[in-house]
């Protein structure tokens, strides 16, 4: 007999049920677990000694992570998927209808089907611990909450709050969930069990919780009548379409399931939920999003070196350079990793500015109510700075974010080596300069590494970690592990110019400029890439990155890889007149008071062209996409990323490559190497040798191989 996941014992008439899936780090609801739930709840209902139920997780930091996603991967047809969730619904209906009241004590992640289970219970107590998070992230996997989530949540918290969570796949900290009415009581972890038991006992005695009307007066007005509901749904639908541009069907399906349930009752809503789940679970979009989930999960454990040595634990972080990147790293390190941060710059005015910017990131967390006032004070106190290296001696990690210039970076490295201890790692936040070159002047090159953050640091989820030729494995695991503490997904990449992200961006950005010179309009170029699924187009991205910065990076790539990377003159003409992009208030677009305006016609004059409408949208799209795909394949051939997985996750998290396409390498696999090669050959003929297909793709085409097995 396999070990049981659900066990229970009776305490003064209360059945204390514990879910602890043997041999697994988290609880998840598989077919087998469902069977156990059904059998256990049937026994509890029958047993006259049981007056109420108190339910807990046996895992230290996890409640229930949802339905078992591994089971979705094995689904082969829509009817099979529909049956799978219909069984789950039946199980939760049994809990909801249980004649004995059920109280649930939640500590740790309570997500997807786990949260839907909690919603089916009659009373919810949650701990106020940061690890306790509740939510319905299903749409992030291309499916919808289909175990009653689209039915029970709107009834509990009101339609607008429920849609807000369901349509965005949001996960909330317990405090916010409590404020929204998703849990009934919020308690410190040591008393979770007692409080939940007390609630179960009270309910056994006939007491029932009285909950306020969901959504207040407005909720009553809108939720309670068909006209109000129609208005809310219409607005939600418009918002979803604006955000997904029709590329992600799951949020619209969820909206439909909620609408059906509110109009025709829970049974009809649940039936629709199951049907829609069936359809979505076997779509290509859902498969791609599930692959991304498993790839990111694997990356959480991957240190990028074989047999990784234990990382040095970082208590104090030194940062040299207090500009936008330095202060961004400082603020993020304080809020996410809760370490002591010491900033250094050449003069105190700059240090003050950097500290202010870092503090702004902490303040933002308070404004968004992610932290309490007390935590805010504690975090702000972790930030300090000066114009010398005072306070750097104890730092286990120092990150430099100074001007992108080899000599400056080498000077900083030598200064740092003179003050820090033996086991301190020196990381450069360079975006293009090879780490081995920076480390050439180091007394201990084994502890020099690259940590390439993306801008804006608090928001961008990717970190490229770049070991130089002599970097020691312990320095790699230290950088990766600290990046993870900062909340980043880290990929370890090879020390080649541009690393991975800028390498694949380079030809793409250049192609945008080529298109502009060939007469394509600014908005049209951007529109095509947004249509493809990028959050913004290449010219908007150039404005965000800064044209001056991009020009410099482009120069490094051109010098390293030759003609293929030759920048068309468009960007240089704009840089010459100070059109650096958003930060200068003008680039390809106009900016007023921080807001992006329309494309600026002055750009055409400056680069001496006139948009002529001569390029078809399909051609614009093809040239941009293939410029990136070809370079990505070539870089994989050079071992720039350790695996296709890292390459795809990097592109999705680093530049917003459309997740529903799975990343550039998965996309190439979907197209097929033979087709990619013939498209590239056609483009090379028309536009020049920069499109000549790389060897990797040619070889794949001739051997019939691919990036993924």
Based on the shown chain and the rule CB under 6 A, indicate whether residue 74 belongs to the binding site for ligand 3HC: no
Measured N-to-C along each axis, helices 644-655 and 664-671 cross at an angle, to the nearest 10 degrees, of 120
Kindly give the residue spans of alpha helices, DSSP state H, lying in 7-103. Answer: 31-46, 69-73, 78-97
Touching ligand 3HC, residues 415-444 (CB under 6 A): none
- Please say if 681 is a catalytic residue: no
CB of 407 to ligand 3HC, least distance (A): 41
- CA gap 511, 564 in Å, rounded: 11
φ, ψ dihedrals at 705, nearest 5°: -100, 180
Answer whether 514's CB lies under 8 Å from 687's CB: yes
Closest CA to 385 of 419, 349, 411: 349
Touching ligand 3HC, residues 612-671 (CB under 6 A): none
- CA gap 691, 631 in Å, rounded: 9
Based on the shown chain and the rule CB under 6 A, indicate whether residue 112 belongs to the binding site for ligand 3HC: yes
φ, ψ dihedrals at 457, nearest 5°: -55, -45
CB of 73 to ligand 3HC, least distance (A): 9
User: Which lies closer to ligand 3HC via its Cβ, residue 109 or residue 341?
Assistant: 109
Based on the shown chain and the rule CB under 6 A, indicate whether residue 66 belongs to the binding site for ligand 3HC: yes
CB of 353 to ligand 3HC, least distance (A): 36
Q: What is the DSSP string of 570-627?
A: HHHHHHHTT--BGGGTBSSEEEETTEEEEE-THHHHHTT----S-S-HHHHHHHHHHH
- CA gap 409, 417 in Å, rounded: 12
Work out whether the CA dihedral 256, 262, 268, 273 comes out positive or negative.
Answer: positive
Q: Which residue is nearest to ligand 3HC (CB)?
A: 112
The single residue among 12, 47, 70, 194 that binds ligand 3HC, judged by CB under 6 A, is: 70
CB of 113 to ligand 3HC, least distance (A): 3
CB of 60 to ligand 3HC, least distance (A): 11
Based on the shown chain and the rule CB under 6 A, indicate whether residue 373 belongs to the binding site for ligand 3HC: no
User: Which lies closer to ligand 3HC via its Cβ, residue 141 or residue 677?
Assistant: 141
User: Which lies closer to ligand 3HC via its Cβ, residue 112 or residue 568?
Assistant: 112
The single residue among 69, 252, 547, 603 that binds ligand 3HC, judged by CB under 6 A, is: 69
Based on the shown chain and the rule CB under 6 A, indicate whether residue 5 belongs to the binding site for ligand 3HC: no
DSSP 462: E
User: Which lies closer to ligand 3HC via its Cβ, residue 138 or residue 646?
Assistant: 138
The CA angle 461-467-473, to the nearest 5 degrees, is 105
- CA gap 152, 160 in Å, rounded: 13
Q: How many residues bind ligand 3HC (CB under 6 A)?
A: 26
Touching ligand 3HC, residues 171-230 (CB under 6 A): none
Based on the shown chain and the rule CB under 6 A, indicate whether residue 461 belongs to the binding site for ligand 3HC: no
User: Which lies closer to ligand 3HC via its Cβ, residue 147 or residue 413?
Assistant: 147
User: Which lies closer to ligand 3HC via its Cβ, residue 115 or residue 561?
Assistant: 115
CB of 108 to ligand 3HC, least distance (A): 8
Q: Which of 464, 551, 631, 679 is the catalytic position?
A: 464
Which of the ranges 146-154, 330-338, 463-471, 687-695 carries the binding residues for ligand 3HC, by CB under 6 A? 146-154
> Which distant-in-sequence residues (6+ apart) come within 8 Å of 475 by Cβ?
425, 446, 447, 448, 449, 467
Closest CA to 135 of 166, 168, 171: 171
Tell me the CA distances in angstroms from 550 to 9, 406, 505, one per residue in order: 64, 17, 10
Touching ligand 3HC, residues 119-138 (CB under 6 A): 137-138
Site track for ligand 3HC across 15-44, x = CB under 6 A: ----------xx-x----------------
- CA gap 579, 193 in Å, rounded: 61
In angstroms and rounded to an integer, the radius of gyration of the C-alpha atoms of the chain is 28
Based on the shown chain and the rule CB under 6 A, indicate whether residue 341 belongs to the binding site for ligand 3HC: no
The single residue among 113, 214, 318, 445 that binds ligand 3HC, judged by CB under 6 A, is: 113
The residues with which 185 forms a beta bridge, in sequence order, are 125
Catalytic residues: 464
* Residues forming the site for ligand 3HC (CB under 6 A): 25-26, 28, 62, 65-70, 85, 88, 109, 111-113, 116, 137-138, 141, 145-147, 149, 297, 300
């Amino acid at each position: 007999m396999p070990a049981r996941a659900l066990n229970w014992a009776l305490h003064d008439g209360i059945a204390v049920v514990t879910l602890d899936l043997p041999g697994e780090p988290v609880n998840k609801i598989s077919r087998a677990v469902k069977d156990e739930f059904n059998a256990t709840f049937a026994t509890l209902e029958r047993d006259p000694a049981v007056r109420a139920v108190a339910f807990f997780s046996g895992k230290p930091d996890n409640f229930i992570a949802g339905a078992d996603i591994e089971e979705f991967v094995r689904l082969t047809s829509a009817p099979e998927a529909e049956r799978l969730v219909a069984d789950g619904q039946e199980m939760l209906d049994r809990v909801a209808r249980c004649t004995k009241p059920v109280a649930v004590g939640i500590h740790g992640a309570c997500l997807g089907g786990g949260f839907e289970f909690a919603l089916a219970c009659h009373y919810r107590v949650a701990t106020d611990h940061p690890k306790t998070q509740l939510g319905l992230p299903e749409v992030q996997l291309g499916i919808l909450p289909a175990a009653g989530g689209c039915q029970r949540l709107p009834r509990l918290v009101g339609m607008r709050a429920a849609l807000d969570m369901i349509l965005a796949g949001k996960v909330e900290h317990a405090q916010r969930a409590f404020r929204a009415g998703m849990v009934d009581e919020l308690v410190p972890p040591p008393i979770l069990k007692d409080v939940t038991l007390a609630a179960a006992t009270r309910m056994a005695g006939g007491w029932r919780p009285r909950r306020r009307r969901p959504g207040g007066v407005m909720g009553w007005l809108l939720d309670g009548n068909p006209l109000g509901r129609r208005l809310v749904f219409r607005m939600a639908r418009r918002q979803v379409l604006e955000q997904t541009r029709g590329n992600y069907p799951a949020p619209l399906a969820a909206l439909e399931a909620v609408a059906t349930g509110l109009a025709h009752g829970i049974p009809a809503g649940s039936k629709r939920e199951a049907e829609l789940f069936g359809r979505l679970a076997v779509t290509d979009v859902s498969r791609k999003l599930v692959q991304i989930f498993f790839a990111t999960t694997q990356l959480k454990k991957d240190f990028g070196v074989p047999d990784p040595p234990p990382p040095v634990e970082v208590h104090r972080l030194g940062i040299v350079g207090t500009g936008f990147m330095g202060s961004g790293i400082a603020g993020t390190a304080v809020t996410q990793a809760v370490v002591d941060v010491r900033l250094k710059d050449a003069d105190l005015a700059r240090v003050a500015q950097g500290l202010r910017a870092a503090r702004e990131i902490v303040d933002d967390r308070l404004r968004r109510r992610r932290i309490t006032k007390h935590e805010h004070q504690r975090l702000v106190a972790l930030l300090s700075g000066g114009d010398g290296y005072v306070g750097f001696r104890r730092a286990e990690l120092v990150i430099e974010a100074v001007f992108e210039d080899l000599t400056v970076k080498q000077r900083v490295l030598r200064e740092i080596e003179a003050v820090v201890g033996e086991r301190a790692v020196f990381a450069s936040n360079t975006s293009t300069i090879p780490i081995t070159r920076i480390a050439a002047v180091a007394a201990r090159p084994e502890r020099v590494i690259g940590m390439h953050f993306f801008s804006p640091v608090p928001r961008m989820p990717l970190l490229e970690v770049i070991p130089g030729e002599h970097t020691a494995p312990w320095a790699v695991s230290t950088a990766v592990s600290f990046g993870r503490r900062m909340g980043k997904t880290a990929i370890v990449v090879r020390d080649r110019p541009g690393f991975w992200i800028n390498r694949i961006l380079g030809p793409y950005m250049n192609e945008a400029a080529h298109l502009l010179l060939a007469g394509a309009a600014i908005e049209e170029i951007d529109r095509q890439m947004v249509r493809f699924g990028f959050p913004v187009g290449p010219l908007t991205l150039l404005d965000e990155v800064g044209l001056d910065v991009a020009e410099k990076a482009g120069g490094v790539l051109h010098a390293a890889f030759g003609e293929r990377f030759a920048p068309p003159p468009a960007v240089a003409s704009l840089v010459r007149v100070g059109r650096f992009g958003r930060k200068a208030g003008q680039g390809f677009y106009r900016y007023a008071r921080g807001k992006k305006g329309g494309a600026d016609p002055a750009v055409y004059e400056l680069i001496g062209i006139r948009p002529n409408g001569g390029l078809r949208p399909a051609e614009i799209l093809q040239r941009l996409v293939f410029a990136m795909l070809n370079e990505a394949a070539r870089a994989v051939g050079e071992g720039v990323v350790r695996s296709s997985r890292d390459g795809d996750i990097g592109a999705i998290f680093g530049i917003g490559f459309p997740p529903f396409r799975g990343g550039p390498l998965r996309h190439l696999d979907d197209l097929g190497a033979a087709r990619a090669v013939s498209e590239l050959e056609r483009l090379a003929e028309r536009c020049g040798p920069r499109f000549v297909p790389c060897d990797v793709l040619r070889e794949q085409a001739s051997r019939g191989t691919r990036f993924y097995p």
